[in-house]
Structure 1
Amino acid sequence: MIRVVAGALQDERGRVLLGQRCADDLRHPNQWEFPGGKLEAGESPQMAIAREFSEELDLSSRAADWHTVRRGMAIDPVRGLQLQLLTARFRALPHKRVHQALSWVWPDAAAALTLGHLDRQLLRWLAAPRWLRIVDSNCPGQLRTVGPFSRQCWRLLRWPELESGSYADALERELSTRPTAGPVMVHNRLDLCTRPGVAGVHLSARVAQQYRERPVSWGSWLSVACHDNAEIAHATQIEADFILLSPVRRTPSHPDRLPLGWPAFGRLAQLAHCPTLALGGIFPVDLEYVRRMGGQGVAGIRGFSPAARSRLPLSRR
């Protein structure tokens, strides 16, 4: 297996630097990528990425302090490549040497670019949400700001009682009144996931089972609800970008459903081939613990409401 490193250099706003291959590139013309290259004999990933950024972007080895992205690994078994992602904060201005263009891009927006397959796999671990606020009609006060309000705080618009046209109208109102409130995912509405301002679509486990391959283009994010290993395997089959795993704790909305508990959540999150968000009795302050258990982020409805802002999370049972 040939080991390759890719670097996600980020600026002070959280945007990531991508390079565009030249039009005459024999393998991937005009494709966008994380800069990087093969490890040479005796090199660590940090040494290799520092060398590559010096060669490709004219950045000295002291211009960035590189760290590996947890689980940021992609494998191409056909070509025998193993690609590892590292990230660092921008300290000096890069200059293009081998790419036809360089661009600072929001990680969640990079999905719309023409990326290589391995780079797209790495993007999931970099850009999948840390916080996902589920906007539900049963929690009318839930639309108000809770917790961090950034590009990593996404919204999932879950309005199952609305008819098709009413949902689309409500979506437009949400996008127009809160244009800077973070990426928006629609719920089970594949027909709306390409609308301007919509990052992608979330599928319930039931709807996801209707598909045997990815139902949306790579330009849209795809998340899937999962409750067990079989559903996680199916989410992998249809190439979901991240999953919502639930219920971690017992919830008022599903009082009769047996919660997974933290040990099972951690085990299933490690089995998943994409980032996993914890759902079910989860609060924004649970993020650090979820990440220690192998998850990517947290999602919730009531736990993300204004009334829950000052509440402590339930005991981790």
Structure 2
Amino acid sequence: MSHITLPSPEFIPIVEVVAAVILQPDGRFLLAQRPKGKVYSGYWEFPGGKVESGESLLYALERELWEELGIHVRYAQPWISRTFTYAHATVRLHFFRVVEWEGKLIPREMQAVSWQMPQEIAVSPILPANGPILQALLLPPLYAITTASEIGIESALQRIDLALQNGLRLLQIREKQMEKDKLREFAEKIIALAHLHQAKVLINSDAELARETGADGVHLTSAQLMEISCRPDPEYGLCGASCHNAEELYAAELLRLDFVVLGPIQSTLSHPGLPPLGWRKFASIIRDYPLPVYALGGLSSEDLVIAQEMGAQGIAMMRGVA
């Protein structure tokens, strides 16, 4: 009897795929339905397709969008990459945010298309590999971090209130020097303010305090990240973590966290002993990374564009916001 030797998992070929998150200024994005005759026909996905031999990822993206939708990409940002195993193949999906394009969008494969809002997806079923991307689209480009211990509680409350009125939607309470009772009171005030604006608040390092105060999640320190073997219970909501190197990024990936903060990009007062990464190294270590990444460290709102060009979800700021 002959024997068939199956390839070990590390030798299973991976199909490289590009996927476009085509965005409108109001936050809408495009989903397309797989046409009849294709695997998973009827499922909804982000437009895109296989990378051909010799193509760069960006060239493949531009070709696919022209072939499928008749549009030319003017400006696209690299974003998240995810590897997913279907019954028929293992694919590595390279997602790009397409924020500028030209031409009249026409479904050239007669596929259905639909503009959707991240908060309310009205089509189904959606290809399983795209679930985390839909969650990432709910994350805003700016992640603010409080500094009440430096500037005073009342001043911090005023600044945060103003930032919320101006569109801030994600905030971390990080007050290492504040007494527990004062921290609880401060957190409750911030959370009440934020929820009036449908913004989310995470508590740094203290999952129990996050639960008790009604916060929307917890932000792990890099030390906590490297100590735990499983993600905090889902009842704690969102879970992010601070990372400074590839090892910590990998730990966050294994825990399937919602996002990470990576830095410092530049020298900072809060991390004086850490050498800055700079944009080149930042881009290098998050290339093909599967979680949304916020850049942190000596940044201002003017750095958002370059951060997203480097593949980031956005930027995290301490002294620039609150």
- Same fold per superposition (TM over 0.5): yes
C-alpha distance in 1 between matches for 2:234 and 2:126 = 12
C-alpha distance in 1 between matches for 2:180 and 2:33 = 42
How many residues in Structure 1 have an aligned counterpart in Structure 2? 282
Question: Where does structure 2 lack aligned partners over 5 or more consecutive residues?
Answer: 1-13
Q: TM-score, normalised by structure 2?
A: 0.63
Amino acid at match of 2:254: Q
Correspondence for 1:33: 45
Tell me the alpha carbon deviations over residues 263-308 of structure 1, each in whole angstroms, 9 at most, x when there is no partner.
4x64255223244333333332333454566654322222334xxx
Further displaced range: 218-227 or 266-275? 218-227
Cα distance change of structure 1 residues 248 and 137 upon mapping to structure 2, 3 Å threshold: same
Q: CA deviation at 1:165?
A: 6.6
C-alpha distance in 1 between matches for 2:92 and 2:200 = 30
Secondary structure of residue in 1 paired with 2:304: helix
Correspondence for 2:284: 270
1:104 has 2:109 as partner: no
Question: Does the CA contact (< 8 Å) of 1:74 and 1:84 recur in 2?
Answer: yes
C-alpha distance in 1 between matches for 2:236 and 2:66 = 30
User: Which of 231, 235, 245 is residue 252 of structure 2 equivalent to?
Assistant: 235
* Match runs of 1:96-245 below 5 Å: 102=114, 104-106=116-118, 116-120=127-131, 122=133, 128-138=139-149, 139=151, 140=153, 141=155, 142-145=159-162, 149-150=166-167, 154-159=170-175, 161-162=179-180, 166=185, 169-170=188-189, 172-177=191-196, 179-180=197-198, 182-188=199-205, 190=207, 198=216, 200-215=217-232, 221-245=238-262
User: Which of 48, 67, 81 is residue 64 of structure 2 equivalent to?
Assistant: 48
Q: CA deviation at 1:13?
A: 0.6
Tell me the alpha carbon deviations over residues 243-264 of structure 1, each in whole angstroms, 9 at most, x when there is no partner.
222344444445xx3232244x
Cα distance change of structure 1 residues 204 and 11 upon mapping to structure 2, 3 Å threshold: same
Q: CA deviation at 1:221?
A: 4.4
Question: Does the CA contact (< 8 Å) of 1:71 and 1:125 recur in 2?
Answer: no
Question: Does the CA contact (< 8 Å) of 1:229 and 1:268 recur in 2?
Answer: no
Secondary structure of residue in 1 paired with 2:25: coil
Cα distance change of structure 1 residues 40 and 217 upon mapping to structure 2, 3 Å threshold: farther
Tell me the alpha carbon deviations over residues 151-196 of structure 1, each in whole angstroms, 9 at most, x when there is no partner.
7x6322335644597577335412344x15x544343455658x99
Correspondence for 1:279: 296
Q: What is the CA RMSD across the aligned residues, in angstroms?
A: 4.7
C-alpha distance in 1 between matches for 2:24 and 2:138 = 14
1:74 has 2:91 as partner: no
Secondary structure of residue in 2 paired with 1:304: coil
C-alpha distance in 1 between matches for 2:68 and 2:218 = 36
C-alpha distance in 1 between matches for 2:246 and 2:320 = 25
Question: Where does structure 1 lack aligned partners over 5 or more consecutive residues?
Answer: 54-60, 306-317
Correspondence for 1:84: 94
Identical aligned pairs, as a percentage? 21
